[in-house]
Amino acid sequence: MRRVRLEKATCPVARALDAIGDWWTMLIVRDAFAGKTRFSEFQTSLGLAKNILSERLRMLVANGVLEKRPAADGGARSTYHLTEKGRQLRVILFALRQWGEDHLFEDGEEMTVVRDHENLPIARLSILNSAGEILAPEDIQVIKGHKSKRSRGRGARSTLA
């Protein structure tokens, strides 16, 4: 399916999509957040052919999203666990969820919902500037720059060239 590799793209969206790979991959990540760790659990949940699931898990391990550990019971089956990089995919899952909730369900239709541990709903994600103002698409520009040298990971911020 892939004709062009985007792992060297200067657009972070393109590079993220390249690293995530495809559609099934985010469902594996969703299931990992739900506590699934074993090949058989992912397979039952997703109804995916074993060779395809195996390839997707291998890719997620290679990309540092999951880590593979020996089975806790000493058995032959390894388990798969989200890394910190994998855990940070959570915002993408919520963005997908909220769009799906809004546009792909009829009123009253059966749907999984999310709550926090005190049963409060989750706030809607929105695009704000650093001053906390909500931005419309027209307010946003995409320009050339560089990744900041100052910081990494969770708190990393980009800066202009």
Q: Where in 20-49 is the site for a copy of itself (CB under 8 A)? A: 20-23, 26-27, 30, 33-34, 46-49
Least CB distance to a copy of itself at residue 18 (A): 8
Residue 70 interacts with a copy of itself (CB under 8 A)? no
State which amino acid sits at residue 104. L
Residue tagged 């919520």 (tokens): 94
156 vs 67, 115, 133, 153, 160, CA distance in Å? 23, 28, 20, 5, 13
What are phi and psi for residue 147, nearest 5 degrees?
-70, 135
- Check binding of 116 to a copy of itself (CB under 8 A): yes
Q: Which of 18, 39, 54, 78 binds a copy of itself (CB under 8 A)?
A: 18
Q: If binding is defined by CB under 8 A, does position 97 make contact with a copy of itself? A: yes
Total residues binding a copy of itself (CB under 8 A)? 100
| 50 vs 71: CA distance, rounded Å | 19
